[in-house]
Structure 1
């Protein structure tokens, strides 16, 4: 479980270590805010069910992370969209405190992330098309010791960690994350776990390559023959979103194509 001191130290890492060349043009704190919204959207649904808290420790973390999110958004530069973002953050907090339906809260978090991206013109698209083959080599070098060669979370260094390393073949969880979410998590680390931030070790291109490889663990390559997506769509949309809007076949195509971008 992540302690408050440890989490705050994560947030206070030097900006230059956290941000890629692309992200340096973004307001300080924007990447962290998007990262927290990704976490809330992905993990809240498993924390509350039918209005009841399933895991009190995780639920408390959700509340604490929302508080940090509110501070990050409040500190962003003033612009025409900021008041709406602050109101959205407040509504998200109300929903968490009222223990509302997980899917509805996840939708709120994802919409708020989209509003944040639009208000501050944050680019979610890699400047160079990711290379999953290069990402595979990076995964073997930096990640497999904890996550296992096949991404199942069964690496030797992961034994005894609490919580255990993420199982990257968990399709339900991977479907709730965009390629940018994976890229952002690699750079910033994952709160509440022992996964470190890799922004100081891996440059922007390497993190996108690694994200594309990781996305492939839950993908069926044969499904790539379905709907066609732009690089911007592959980076910014989740299979969960695409499934709701276009159906399961399109979601399967997104999974496959983000692991083998055009």
Structure 2
């Protein structure tokens, strides 16, 4: 956790120094005092670390602190910050990355509920509370800033808040919601990219660790396969990085099918766990999107999933369980049609057929 926090502080200095100093002159004294305070805090925290490469980290931190003190050019500050942060990242334990993100609609709704009052409806840092805050909320559409902001830094800011700012820790949000917000706000500065996904060879996609740990400028500098414009496109379209992941409706269908199989084998505890997963890992992720299209269908599916979980946890409920499961599958198919504005997927049809076969004992 110390390394993550230090990494976040270093990135913050590299990004926000531009608001404090320009051409060797202080342009915002409050911002400059914050840069000095953070750079000193970084040195102090690193001096107490007991990790490999601690002497190197301390030297790098002192270079950053001295550069801030001397009101060095922004390019120098960002180079010092980038070097220090790369060393910190190399020492971090493995991070569990998201397997999938919420839909864009669901993430936008999450942003409007939790972030828009400060950051503005479009993320420009101009929310209704912004004038009252010092420092001002981040403008996520500032491309120069976004080029130097990592997704991990955004995730940690959402998860832990930022000291000495109005940014709170959103601990009430689930991890997937926080990752989805990080990818979303990290995309806002790049939405005008004119390239399309077909311009990128999927074999050239960066691995998720690099993609999350490093900012676009760093990735472009190190990559031999992706141009900066292509990297900006992938930041603008984060869901494309997860395009091979099953859709939430498909996950719900698959988990229900697995739950029925477990029930048929008298594995009632497993069946109950899988039925819960069908909701938490599947249907819950599209509830808000579905509610906007057909609130009655959303409510009915939710009620039927609750009923299904009550039946599947113990024996003697075959008739009611299979009847209700078939009904839920039909409703999930309807939901998928509404959400995709298309015909039933092969997975949906296959899953529904399996439930009928199971009900009939085939």
**TM-score clears 0.5:** yes
Q: What's the counterpart of residue 55 of structure 1?
A: 28
1:156 aligns with 2:128: yes
Structure with greater contact order relative to length (CA < 8 Å, sep ≥ 6): 1
237-246 or 148-157: bigger deviation: 237-246
Q: Which has the larger radius of gyration?
A: 2
Per-residue deviation at 1:109?
0.7
1:230 to 207, 222, 229: 207
Instruction: Name structure 1 gaps, 5 residues minimum.
Output: 1-27
Note the alpha carbon deviations across 1:169-195, whole angstroms, 9 max, x for none.
122212210111111111122344312
Shift of the alpha carbon at 1:159?
4.1
SS in 2 for 1:223: coil
Mark the CA change 1:192 to 1:259 in structure 2 (over 3 Å): closer, same or farther: farther
Instruction: Note if contact 2:186-2:235 (Cα within 8 Å) is conserved in structure 1.
Output: yes
Cα pair 1:223 1:256 within 8 Å, conserved? no
User: Is 1:216 the equivalent of 2:192?
Assistant: no
1:66-145 mapped onto 2 (5 Å cutoff): 66-76=39-49, 78-121=50-93, 123=95, 126-133=97-104, 134-145=106-117
- Asked if 1 retains the 8 angstrom alpha-carbon contact of 2:130 and 2:136, the reply is yes
Q: Structure 2: where are the runs of 5+ without partners?
A: 243-362
Which residue does the alignment assign to 2:177?
Answer: 206
Equivalences, count: 232
* SS of alignment partner, residue 187 of structure 2: helix
Counterpart of 2:142? 170
User: What is the SS of the residue equivalent to 2:93?
Assistant: coil
**Aligned-residue offset at 1:260:** 4.3
In the TM superposition, what whole-angstrom CA distance separates every residue of 1:66-98 from its partner, at most 9, and x where no partner exists? 12112222233x233112111111121122222
Change in CA separation of 1:141 and 1:260 when aligned onto 2, cut-off 3 Å: farther
Q: CA deviation at 1:244?
A: 4.6
**Which structure 1 residue ranges, 4+ long, deviate > 4 Å from structure 2?**
243-247
Whether the 8 Å CA contact 2:124–2:140 is kept in 1: the answer is: yes
SS in 2 for 1:156: coil
CA RMSD, Structure 1 to Structure 2 (Å): 2.4
State the TM-score, normalized to the length of structure 1. 0.78
CA distance in 2, matches of 1:213, 1:135: 7
Cα deviation 1:169-226 (Å, max 9, x = unaligned) = 122212210111111111122344312121x212322210111121222223653524
